[in-house]
Amino acid sequence: MSGTAVSVSADEDPSQNQSSKDKGKVQPSGRKFAGRIMKKKKQKKKAPPIGSARDFPCRPCVTRATKSPGYECASQDNTGAACWACAKNGHTCRPVPPGAVAAVRAFWELNRQIDDMNEDPCDAWRSAAQRAAQQLRACSAAPAPALAPRGEADGKTLEERKVAALEAIAEAARLWTQLNKLDEESVEEDEDGEDEGN
C-alpha cells in the first residue's frame, strides 16, 4: 500500500487522529444536552376595557395631556377605581391637588375643544398646559416649613443656651454626688450595724 493508513483501535481516542489541517478547529463536544433550556415567556397583563371619558382628569392624565393634545382621561369599563391609562400602565391614579384644580380645569376645557375639533393646539392651549403643569409641580413639591432649633424657639441667644446647658450639667453633677454620698453613708451604717451585732 502506498498510502498512509490510519487505523483506530478501541483503546485510542479518535480526536487524536486528526490531520494537520483539522488541528486548531473547535471540535463539537461529545456530550449531548438533555434538553433545551426554555425561557419562560412573560405573560402580559391585558389592558382593562376602556370606558367613557371622565369629566375631570386624574393627575397622571393631566401630565399625559400636556404632552399630547386632545388626550382624554377615560374610566375603566368595569368597577376599577383607577382611570383606564393608569390601570393599563399599573400606576396609581392620583387626584389633582386642590391648589391646582382651577388651572387644570381651564386647561382641560381647552384640551377637550381640541379633541372635539381635531385641530392643532393654539397658543392658549400651550399656555394653559404650561400653567397646569406649573401648578401641579408647585402643589406637589411644596417643601415643609423648616422647624426652628429648640433654643431659638424660646428666643434665647447662643450664649444664654450655653449657660443654661452648663447649669443643667452642674445640677446633674450635684445630684449625682449627693446620691453617691447617701449610698456611701448607708453602706457605712450597714457595716457599723454588722460590727455591733457581732
Asked if residues 78 and 48 have their Cβ atoms less than 8 Å apart, the reply is yes
- The domain segmentation of the chain, as residue ranges, is 50-140
| Strand, coil or helix: 110 | helix
Find how far residue 16's CA is from the centre of its chain. 59
Task: Look at residue 151 in the predicted model and tell me its pLDDT.
Answer: 44
| Residues forming a β-bridge with 53 | 74
| Strand, coil or helix: 130 | helix
Average pLDDT in the 170-182 region? 87
| 95-to-67, 76, 78, 115 alpha-carbon distances in Å | 18, 16, 19, 22
pLDDT in tens, 50-73: 777 888 888 888 888 888 888 888
pLDDT in tens, 128-156: 888 888 888 888 755 555 555 554 445 67
Which amino acid does the sequence have at 168?
A
Which are the contacts of 56, defined by CB distance < 8 A and separation ≥ 6?
Answer: 73, 96, 104, 105, 108
Q: How far apart are CA 63 and CA 83, in angstroms?
A: 14
pLDDT in tens, 9-26: 555 555 555 555 556 666
